[in-house]
């Protein structure tokens, strides 16, 4: 058996994707809309307070294209808290104007492929901060789930540790070329969801997503072993701009 990678695991993550039921929304009375928006804004304000206390984080983006309309990305210490968040949303007066489109459950993950030998990673403040990240309020998000292949010829999980380390080094070097342009959060979902990882990228220039993902396609880790789910790309929302989007 090949040596399993050791992971450091941080906050749990829920990507909650919703579609707006425009027909229901447009036929609601102004009073109904007002009530729903109040509840929505209260929920968002509550989630933002949790972020201010450093006990979780929130990203809200408007999805471009027809796969969904909104993505709420929540990070919390426990799965119970994530569950409470989705239940509170589902109970709210706003939820009846939305449909559940897709969700993804994972946990922020760092693996030990690039770890410095002899260093306790939990004593390195940058590493600890990366496990419980406050999401950047970048203008754009790109989210997709992925696997590493388990085919007879191309089985990531049967490669020796040393080989995987070499491959991951090359992957990491490409990533570093995008420092300051793209921030990535890798969250592990083996045992939690239908793919093995969630990849969430943030950037102010959306074109950098395309450039980074494309460059990685030529790198062996992605070229040979990567399998990808649906891609969701979106534009930053605040509570205020979300209300505007609904009322315009």
Report, as residue numbers or ranges, the catalytic residues: 144
Whose CB is nearest to ligand 76R?
175
Cross-strand bridge partners of residue 119: none
Q: Please report, for residues 5, 140, 161, 238, the alpha-carbon distance to residue 244 in angstroms, rounded to integers and kept in the order given.
A: 46, 18, 51, 10
Contact residue for ligand 76R among 93, 133, 175, 239 (CB under 6 A): 175
184 binds ligand 76R (CB under 6 A): yes
Contacting residue, 94, 97, 143, 178, with ligand 76R by CB under 6 A: 178
157: helix, strand or coil: helix
Phi–psi pair at 43, nearest 5 degrees: -60, -50
- CA dist 215 and 222 (Å) reads 10
Among residues 148, 187, 193, 195, the one that binds ligand 76R under rule CB under 6 A:
148
By CB under 6 A, residue 5 contacts ligand 76R: yes
Where on the phi/psi map is residue 191: left (φ > 0), alpha (ψ -120 to 50), or beta?
left
Q: Contact with ligand 76R (CB under 6 A): which of 1, 31, 116, 179?
A: 179
Look at the alpha carbons of 210, 227, 198, 92 in this order and tell me if their dihedral is positive or negative. positive
30 is in an annotated binding site: no
**Residue numbers belonging to the annotated binding site:** 130, 144-148, 171, 184, 222
Contact residues: ligand 76R, CB under 6 A: 5, 110-111, 113-114, 146, 148, 168, 171-172, 175-176, 178-179, 182, 184, 186, 197, 199, 201, 212-213, 216-217, 222, 226
């Amino acid at each position: 058996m090949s040596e399993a990678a050791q992971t450091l695991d941080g906050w749990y993550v829920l990507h909650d994707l919703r579609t707006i039921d425009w027909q229901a929304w447009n036929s609601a009375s102004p009073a109904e809309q007002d009530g729903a928006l109040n509840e929505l804004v209260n929920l968002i304000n509550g989630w933002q307070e949790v972020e201010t206390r450093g006990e979780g984080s929130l990203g809200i983006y408007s999805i471009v294209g027809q796969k969904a309309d909104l993505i709420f990305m929540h990070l919390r210490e426990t799965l119970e808290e994530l569950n409470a968040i989705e239940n509170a949303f589902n109970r709210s007066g706003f939820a009846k104007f939305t449909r559940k489109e897709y969700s993804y459950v994972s946990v922020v993950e760092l693996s030990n492929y690039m770890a410095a030998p002899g260093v306790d990673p939990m004593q390195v403040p940058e590493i600890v901060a990366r496990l419980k990240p406050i999401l950047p309020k970048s203008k754009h998000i790109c989210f997709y789930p992925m696997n590493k292949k388990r085919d007879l010829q191309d089985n990531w999980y049967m490669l020796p540790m040393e080989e995987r380390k070499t491959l991951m080094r090359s992957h990491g070097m490409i990533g570093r070329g995008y420092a300051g342009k793209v921030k990535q959060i890798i969250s592990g979902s083996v045992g939690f969801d239908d793919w093995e990882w969630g990849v969430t990228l943030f950037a102010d220039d959306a074109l950098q997503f395309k450039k980074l993902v494309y460059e990685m396609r030529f790198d062996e880790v992605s070229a040979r072993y990567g399998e990808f789910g649906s891609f969701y790309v979106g534009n930053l929302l605040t509570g205020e701009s979300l209300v505007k989007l609904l009322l315009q």
